[in-house]
Amino acid sequence: MGKTVLITGGSRGIGAACVRAFAQEGWRVAFLYRERADKAGELCRTFPDTLALQADLSKPDEVERGVEQAQKHLGTLDALVCNAGIAEQKMFCDLSDGDWTRMLDVNLMGAVRVIRAALPGMVHKKSGSIVTVSSIWGVRGASCESHYAASKAALIGLSSSLALELGPSGIRVNCVAPGVIETDMNASHTPETMRELAFETPLGRIGTAEEAAQSILFLCSEKASFITGQTLGVTGGF
């Protein structure tokens, strides 16, 4: 039987690209999604052994139920990809406590809840790989997205800390920090803004969700068996 992976935010963008990449490599896949059941259904029709589970990562009971169902379907988890997240552009002075709470609750605590639910099985078998998906903005900061950048920086700190804590249990933890990627999250930008961002990228173009997914697949695979505690920038040099 192939290796098993649970992916969050799997119905679109980088998450959907991960579902496709892992499935095409022979992994058995389950993924969590909050909305876009139509996109989730398309993936399951393309990869019939894939399980899609609806769950809001801001709700602990839904996370626990989703992870439990994924483990029942897959058996033990070999890998976990914490990709789900939200973004918002707003000036710092206009951000309310509610804005901060919502951003951190999904981007940081969503990952915490999923890892907490999936970890006992990995600890029990003394192996596993966890990859969190941060952002270049979590590394360098972002104007008018301070709450988003802070949440993504927190994921880097979480991943580095867990790598130290879980290494003795044979569990690797790494982080991917994508640059400007062509996804729904960036669809709000004007074509002019996207051209400017491409110009600022040394490779001269916007990245694809598939390129980010391949990096995540690599970090979950045995090819990365001695890599842990790292943040990999998939940025085109941005």
Q: Rounded distance, CA 66 to CA 121, Å?
A: 15
pLDDT tens digits for range 153-178: 999 999 999 999 999 999 999 999 99
- The pLDDT mean for the chain works out to 95
- Summarize the confidence of residues 173-199 as an average pLDDT: 85
pTM: 0.95
> What sign for the dihedral angle of Cα 88, 92, 95, 101?
positive
The Cα–Cα gap between 21 and 217 comes to: 7
What average pLDDT score do residues 43-57 get? 96
Q: Which of 129, 148, 224, 234 is catalytic?
A: 148
Alpha helices in the chain (DSSP H): 13-24, 37-46, 60-74, 97-107, 109-125, 136-140, 146-166, 191-200, 209-220
Question: What pLDDT score does 238 carry?
Answer: 86
Per-residue model confidence (pLDDT) at position 29: 98
CA distance 174 to 232: 8
**What's residue 54's pLDDT?**
97
Decide: residue 77, CB within 10 A, 0-12 exposed, 13-18 middle, 19+ buried.
buried
Give residue-wise pLDDT tens across range 8-41.
Answer: 999 999 999 999 999 999 999 999 999 889 999 9
Work out the pLDDT band at 82, boundaries 50, 70, 90.
very high
pLDDT band, residue 191 (cuts 50/70/90): confident
Helix (H, G, I), strand (E, B) or coil at 149: helix
Q: Check residue 185 and give its pLDDT.
A: 66
Q: Is the pLDDT of residue 187 over 70?
A: no
Q: What superfamily in CATH does domain 4-234 come from?
A: NAD(P)-binding Rossmann-like Domain (3.40.50.720)
User: Catalytic: 33?
Assistant: no
**pLDDT of 188 strictly over 90:** no
Look at the block and give the residue holding tokens 């914490």: 82
Over residues 180-195, mean pLDDT:
78
Specify the higher pLDDT residue, 193 or 37: 37
Token readout for 191 is 């074509």
